[in-house]
Chains A and B, each alone.
Chain A
Amino acid sequence: MVIDCKHVWNYISGYLDDDLSEKTRDIVQKHLDHCEICSAILDSTRNIIILTADDRVFELPVGFSERLHMRIDVELMEAGS
């Protein structure tokens, strides 16, 4: 079975998460093997997911942890009193 590009796009996320049935994965893989555009979409999506997951992209503000634990200390003291 051959599917067109638009159908393949529906499976990009499932392909990346290895969440496709074996049959669907084979069909998608066959398409990716010869379609430059869908391969680039897959590669760019995977690349973007990796970049976004990098801890340096979303960092905690400086001093966040110290301020949080001071606030928790206040709460613990109030709870204990």
Chain B
Amino acid sequence: MIAAILAGNTQLYHELVRPYERSVYLMALSYMKNEADAEDVAQEAFVKAFRNLSSFRAEAKFSTWLISITLNEARSRLRRHSIIRMESLDEPADGNGGVSPALLRDWREIPSEAVERAEIRELIQLAVESLPEIYRQVFLLRDVQELNVNETAEALGINISNVKVRLHRARMMLQKQLAPQLKTMNKTSKRRWLPWS
């Protein structure tokens, strides 16, 4: 399809990018923190990808190429507006970087229907947004957009073992923050739903 677009059938570009709308938007949102800016970045990324389509190399995956364009666009926009958060891109200097999870004795599964509740969605969104950048990127690509380890490494320009380490820490940080909150909400909502309570 890319060859056809480059040959002049540019309308096909609409079809080419349709499957990636969500992943590009989510990547942009993880940087911009508000929907309007994230949408701008996402649009700009798709436009830039079109302008640079001839430089796309077939050995790369189109999705990971798009993600790296989005990351660059978000970063350069934050730099332009001087609102880049002063986050270190290095691994934290805390020895082995181990993250202790929240200790629980039992876990009652929270069913998928729970995400229909706005407060549950907000809890999860906030927890993901509050992850340090290097962990948030990997988590979004691996666990939200479900890219594999190789694709994630390629999109972020890091090696596979870094992907695994960062993903592990991101998951542990989310467990630490979310598990106690979700557990409490699960209890509260159960009480509310019981007719005799």
Q: Which residues of A contact B (CB under 8 A)?
A: 6, 9-10, 12-14, 16, 19, 36-37, 39-41, 43-45, 47-58, 60-61, 64-65, 67-69, 71-72, 75-76, 79-80
Contacts and interface: CB of A to CB of B under 8 A. Distances in A.
Interface string B42-82: 11001100110000000000000000000000000000000
Contact of B42 (A16, A41, A68, A69): A68
Given A51-B120, A67-B39, 10 more contacts: A9-B98, A9-B172, A16-B171, A44-B104, A45-B101, A47-B182, A48-B175, A49-B171, A75-B50, A80-B10
Contacts of A16: 171
A36 B106 CA distance: 7
- Chain A interface, DSSP helix/strand/loop, else mixed: helix
Given A12-B168, A52-B174, A68 B179 contact: no
A17 B116 CA distance: 27
Contact of B100 (A9, A40, A53): A9
B105 A51 contact: no
Contacts of A56: 115-116, 121
What bracket does the count of chain B residues touching chain A fall in? 35 or more
B182 A72 contact: no
Given A9-B172, A64-B25, A79-B50, A52 B128 contact: yes
Given A57-B125, A72-B13, A41 B104 contact: yes
Contacts of A41: 101-104, 175, 179
Interface in B83-105: 98, 100-105
A72 B17 contact: yes
16 contacts: A13-B168, A36-B106, A37-B104, A40-B103, A45-B101, A47-B107, A51-B110, A51-B120, A51-B124, A52-B124, A60-B21, A65-B18, A68-B39, A71-B43, A76-B10, A76-B13
A13 B164 contact: yes
Contacts of A10: 98, 168
A20 to B, nearest CB: 11
